[in-house]
Structure 1
């Protein structure tokens, strides 16, 4: 990091090669368009290297650059006019008959990925941030500018849609 702060290009290159695949995967989960994800990857590393002097090693470079990647991805999604709508509070509780027993399902990763990819962009974003980036729902609400309750409801509904799609074999 000190070499990067001094402007050594070989240090920048080493950091890029060390982290680019993981950062790309983070971006691609949120922006499932190869070309756009590749462009965002470059933008993320440019932004990180331009701000490297502000980097404090509190959480490590990996966490810092992944946060930049998530923020750039969310910005890209917003530019695509994806809107997160507030859902009515009446749906905030779960009825016993609405729950799905997940333990009876065994699926291949590709089937689950296809089921997630079929979700609307706003729902897919919440699922990706929560499940794969391990961001707490409260923080997702702040990032997306929506209520925590809305994130919770959308996540639950998305999970039900995914499980229903997998159970019915509706994944194309």
Structure 2
């Protein structure tokens, strides 16, 4: 017999609302890896991602009474992690420092390694993007938010999100072509 995961998650959330510690741990275990991956993509730093994820779970458990199942618990928690990550970056005001120039000699690479080199170029290119472009690209392409949601998260208009996304893609292509 197949278990309905939504019921299980809802049941866990309801038990967590009453302070049931083992249910909190179960819910934490279900989502911690996914939330950590989001934090890493947003922050690019293991320690910061771990801190943000822990803070996000603490806030989520403190505010469970406000969770009304208008979305899944995972989507609600993801929004908390994304918002905390953005706030962390704003507070740190960390400039994006370009990495040292790397030369890739594609003609020296065997054909099966060419794809790996291209993937590395994209990753390097994304790291070199200004933080605003990087955020929008990450939220749209990796996290799957639409431009309306990105606008709400970042406090910008939907059209600004769209135009920044297109500029980010254009800039990424420029960066990759220079590598």
Larger Rg: 2
TM-score (norm 1): 0.77
* Superposition CA RMSD, Å: 2.0
Q: 2-side partners of 1:139 and 1:82: how far apart? A: 24
Could you tell me which runs of 5 or more consecutive residues in structure 2 were left unpaired when the two chains were aligned. Answer: 1-12, 96-114
Q: CA deviation at 1:145?
A: 2.2
> Which structure has the higher relative contact order (CA within 8 Å, separation 6+)?
1
The structure carrying a bigger helix percent of its residues is: 2
Matched, 1:74 2:58: no
Residue-by-residue CA offset, 1:84-134 (whole Å, 9 max, x unaligned): xxxxxxxxxxxxxxxxxxxxxx67544322211111111101111111112
Residue-by-residue CA offset, 1:47-71 (whole Å, 9 max, x unaligned): 0010112212232111110011111
Q: 2-side partners of 1:82 and 1:122: how far apart? A: 12
Name the SS of the counterpart of 1:59 in structure 2: coil
Aligned counterpart for 1:117 among listed residues 123, 127, 131 = 127
Q: CA deviation at 1:21?
A: 0.7
Q: Which residues in structure 2 correspond to 1:1-172 (within 5 Å)?
A: 1-81=13-93, 108-168=118-178, 170=179
Q: CA deviation at 1:82?
A: 6.8
Runs of 4+ that moved beyond 4 A: none
Q: CA deviation at 1:4?
A: 0.7
Could you tell me which runs of 5 or more consecutive residues in structure 1 were left unpaired when the two chains were aligned. Answer: 84-105
Q: 2-side partners of 1:148 and 1:52: how far apart? A: 29
Name the SS of the counterpart of 1:56 in structure 2: coil
Asked if structure 2 preserves the Cα contact closer than 8 Å seen for 1:82 and 1:122, the reply is no
How many equivalent residue pairs? 147
